[in-house]
Every structure is written in structure tokens, then in C-alpha cells.
Amino acid sequence: MNQTVMVVGDSSFDVFITPSETETVCSLNDKECLICFDYGEKILVDSLFTAVGGNAANVAVGLSRLGLSVKLSTILGRDNASGEIVQTLVSEGVSTNMVIFQEAAKANYSTVINYSGERTIFTYHSPKEYVFVEPDDIPDWVYLTSMGKGFESIYAKVVKYCTDYKIPLAINPGTLQIKEQEQLLATLDKVNVLNLNKQEAEKILGVDAGAEVQFLLNSFVAKGVSVVVITDGVNGSYVSNGQSFWHCPILQRKPIERTGAGDAYSSGFLASLVSGSTIPDAMLSGTVNSASVVGQVGAQKGLLRERERHQWLEDARRSGVFVAEL
């Protein structure tokens, strides 16, 4: 019987644009990490692509493609973009029975500028009233991720729901949750899996950039998290369960567009863990899922299906990518 995961968080409609690199109106300053456009100019775009995105929708689709039963709790409006989101979820086998439609709400939007393999994202969170309705059937896992303003109440309700029913909880907080970190810090002892990138981990703990990853992992374990996952870009990923400490390098693939890399890792990791795999195997699954996604435009196009995942895992091993206990 397939394990069931309930994903709670925001979905969005994403627009991807790629400025023409032959135009002098755009330049990338690697030292200062700035993309610059001439003010008041019309910027030529080589390509435009639209897709469903948002952390919750990305992870829901990723888990579904890897064979899990997935239900998504998200807030949408009655606009066309919300309809596109629902159609995509249904086509991907994600249950939309827990999607809540609010007349005053609209879909969240993101405009993604893709340049030289990196992306800059402009995000609009439509105002909405966050509510949480318990599902009819208790899921095996809950994955809680990013939301907009007013998230505090629903975050508290989801954590309490998991605590009351003893449901394992995975959390990947968004920008606002990290900014309002007191609530997040207070719930860490109830979290089974915490997914962060290195910069997010440093912000939550209030430490300077450049902290040692093992220090970050140990800090979260000390606060009660069962399994801590920290991704660090080209440096790969690190995981600790309080007893062991692992590292997995990235699978080298030329990046086309990096949106959704973290969500792809999260869905690959969690799908394996929920299905009974070891932490090192889950790390490798997250790594290949992320490598596949950055080779496509958009956060969902490259998400692996179960049959594809096995081939990518074989390719990774042949390429010398393996998980080491440190």
C-alpha cells in the first residue's frame, strides 16, 4: 500500500523569461551578484515559458511522480491561473480534495529571470485567509512549507495536528517563516525532517555567513529535530540524525535553470525516506532529482518518475557520486 503524504503550503503560477545574452543591456557581475538592466529600456527576451510552481505544488508533484499518494492543502482563487494550477495537479495524480478556493484570493505569481544558468525571482503572494481543515484520512506524513502573510495560525494548527495524531512532520520553511523565526524555533522539537539550504540555516540560527555545516546541523539536532538536511549549492548536501553525519556531492550536469532545485531534492529525499530507504539512499535520490530539474526550465518539468530515478541513480554511481559518512 502506498504511503500517503499531505503537503501544506502555497502554490503559484510562474513565468520564466530569458533575456538575450547578445544584448549589451544586461550584464552579470559575479563579484557583487547583480543582474543589471538599463533603466527605461525595452529588454529583448529570447524565450518565455509558463508553468505551475510554488514550493507546495512542486513537492506534491515530485512525491506523486515517485509513487506516493499525495494530497495538497493549498489556498487558491477563482482566476484562470488558479484553474491552471488545479489542472496540472490533477494531471500529475495529486489529490485536490483539500484545495480551498476563496473568492477574494488569486493565484500567487512569480516572474523568474533566467540568465547564465542562475535565476532571479520576483514573487507576488496574493492576500488570502489561511485555514486548515483536517483530512478525512490520517496521512502517513505531513510536509509543511512556505506561505505568505498570515501563515502563523495555520502553521501552529498543522504542527498541533501532527503532534496530536503522532504523524511524522517534515518542514521546509519559506522566506516569511524564516524572517519570523520565533515560531519556527519553538516547534523544532516536533519536527522529524527539517529541510534548509545553508543560508537559511544561518539566518534561522542567527549566525554569520560561512559557518561550518556540521555546527549548523548539530545546532538543529540540539533543538530537537530528528533529521536535519542542509543543501549547499555546488558543495552538495549534508544530513545529520544526531548520531551520524553524511555528505553527498552534486551530480555534475550543466544547469539550464535552477528554479525548484531545492524542492526537487526535498521530494526525492522524502519519497525515499517515507518508502523505507536509508538516509544515504534518500540523499542520493534527492541529489539526482535536483540534477534533473536544473537541466530543464521550470520547477516541475524535470522531476523524475520512479522508473527514471533508478536510471539516474545508476548514472550517479557510475559518475562516482556516493554518500560518505564523515
pLDDT digits (tens, 9 = 90+) for 46-82: 888 888 999 999 999 999 999 999 999 999 999 999 9
pLDDT at 163 over 90: yes
pLDDT digits (tens, 9 = 90+) for 214-242: 999 999 999 999 999 999 999 999 999 99
Per the listing, cell 524542492 goes with 263
Instruction: Please give the pLDDT value at position 28.
Output: 52
- Phi-psi region for residue 75, left (φ > 0), alpha (ψ -120 to 50) or beta? beta
Handedness of CA 138, 139, 143, 146 (dihedral sign): negative
Task: Give dist(CA 162, CA 37) in Å, integer.
Answer: 47
pLDDT band at 19 (very low <50, low <70, confident <90, very high): confident
Task: Give dist(CA 173, CA 49) in Å, integer.
Answer: 27
pLDDT digits (tens, 9 = 90+) for 271-316: 999 999 999 999 999 999 999 999 988 889 999 999 999 999 999 9
Task: Give dist(CA 98, CA 134) in Å, integer.
Answer: 9
Query: How many other CB atoms sit within 10 Å of the CB of residue 310?
Result: 13
Instruction: Please give the pLDDT value at position 24.
Output: 40
Spatial strand order of the sheet with 108-115 comes to 45-53, 12-19, 108-115, 118-124
Cβ contacts of residue 87 below 8 Å, gap of 6+? none
Cβ contacts of residue 231 below 8 Å, gap of 6+? 195, 196, 197, 198, 237, 238, 262, 265, 290
Q: Enter the pTM of the model.
A: 0.91
For residue 226, the 8-state DSSP code is S
> So where are the chain's domains?
4-23+44-325
More confident residue, 61 or 104: 61
Query: What CATH architecture does domain 4-23+44-325 belong to?
Result: 3-Layer(aba) Sandwich (3.40)
User: What backbone phi and psi angles, to 5 degrees, belong to 141?
Assistant: -140, 160
Render 272-312 in DSSP notation, one character per residue.
HHHTT--HHHHHHHHHHHHHHHTTSSSSSTTPPPHHHHHHH
Q: What is the mean pLDDT of the chain?
A: 91
Instruction: Please give the pLDDT value at position 242.
Output: 95
Longest Cα pair distance anywhere in the chain, in angstroms?
58
